[in-house]
Structure 1
């Protein structure tokens, strides 16, 4: 399958990319930073430098990739968890405007499938952006993957798991791969609550 992976250098995207390649998929992976394109290539993907907010460039890029599936793993989160409240508007913008642009580009490219990340909890004051994001994906017959709070290397919880819902980032990536063929709907990926 040809996959356009938006957010290929993120916490989940960088783990998904080699898994998708190992499963035999041809993956075009995006980054906003030319400095990170080499990482995508090292992980087995074809790097694409594009900004999700530049609709014309995004549409051309997705069309050039000719994907069967567009996978949305984009977020706009800070490196420091303490800065999340200050960056809330930027992450909500990814979920609304970024999602709308990615879905427009997928439609223009003739992609038959969409899979998009979401979250398995409601963030204070940002539930509307999450709901709009998920509704837009479901409206095009896509799959919404609601991840629990990620923990493990490279996450906000590198050494100590957060409260439930939660999931180890490597497990989240591994459990996403079989969802390429899932029927439209919402899938929650989280550790069992104990």
Structure 2
């Protein structure tokens, strides 16, 4: 198929393009600036420069490439993470998830595109009541932190408009990324002991290796049907469980523990809620309906062997040999 990957220079796009090319798909890859054009070309794609918030430019690029499928991976997180003012940090990404999605969908309809796959997220956005693991049918947090309202609205917008579009529209809610290009800043914080366990650390997180997220995206492109899918590994886990393990894997000291009041003072309400009340996500629907299995079925193996390209490659070799 002819696949247009919007936002292809991001963490997912760089892992997705080689998988698509290896399976015989023809890929057009868009990026906001010219700096990544040669990198995308080396990955096997035909690169184009497109501002996802410029409706005319998006329409022209889609019309020229005549894709069968559009994959929306556009995000814009620059600089140091700002969890205290999450919406400010995510401001451009939120626009890409709303206005950017509208531009892509309009261009898709005009060009006769048959399938549309959009990046979303599952994690801090889940309702913080009831069981520790949520499905696609569970609601979003009805009372998000003060500075996450716009960001959760962006996720809800995707859920509303993409499956309702006059094509095969899918929303992939990825868990927390790790792997080459997705977890270096996290590992640095852990090594510096700047990521403590807050309170009891009972907040549950779901993880997904970038290669597995890309493979799930390929499965959605090739076999997916209209709907919403959680793309996570098989083992949601509490912060108090996965964070010390990650520290051990990367050779760091055990993470510090701080009380909730100090965590809120130092890091803000967003971080405290995520670490103490977060809920994970079930991947059962994606495994069943996309015929997909994460190679790194648990973050335990993924953290230990898949944080770097060399680790991922060695694991792949072991799997092929087996």
Whole-Å separation in 2 of the counterparts to 1:17 and 1:128: 29
Per-residue CA deviations over 1:85-125 (Å, capped at 9, x if unaligned) read 23222221111011111111111111011011100131732
Residue matched to 2:93 = 91
Decide whether the 8 Å contact of 2:30 with 2:48 is kept in 1.
yes
Whole-Å separation in 1 of the counterparts to 2:215 and 2:204: 21
1:52-71, aligned counterparts within 5 Å? Answer: 52-71=52-71
Residue matched to 1:29 = 29
1:4-153, aligned counterparts within 5 Å? Answer: 4-82=4-82, 85=86, 86-121=88-123, 122=125, 124-125=148-149, 126-140=151-165, 141-153=168-180
Whole-Å separation in 2 of the counterparts to 1:79 and 1:65: 32
Deviation at 1:158, TM superposition (A): 5.1
Decide whether the 8 Å contact of 1:28 with 1:47 is kept in 2.
yes
2:227 to 179, 185, 193: 185
Per-residue CA deviations over 1:144-173 (Å, capped at 9, x if unaligned) read 11100111222246537x951211112211
3-state SS, counterpart of residue 12 of structure 1? helix
3-state SS, counterpart of residue 8 of structure 1? coil
How much is the aligned-residue C-alpha RMSD, in angstroms? Answer: 1.9
3-state SS, counterpart of residue 139 of structure 1? coil
3-state SS, counterpart of residue 133 of structure 1? helix
Matched, 1:171 2:212: yes
Task: Provide TM-score, normalisation by structure 2.
Answer: 0.57
Deviation at 1:78, TM superposition (A): 2.1
Gaps of 5+ in 2: 126-143, 191-202, 238-322
Decide whether the 8 Å contact of 1:152 with 1:158 is kept in 2.
no
Whole-Å separation in 1 of the counterparts to 2:94 and 2:2: 28
Give the 4+ runs in structure 1 shifted more than 4 A: none
Bigger-Rg structure (1/2): 2
- 118-127 or 138-147, which deviates more: 118-127
Number of corresponding residues? 193
Bigger proportion of residues as strand: 1
Gaps of 5+ in 1: none
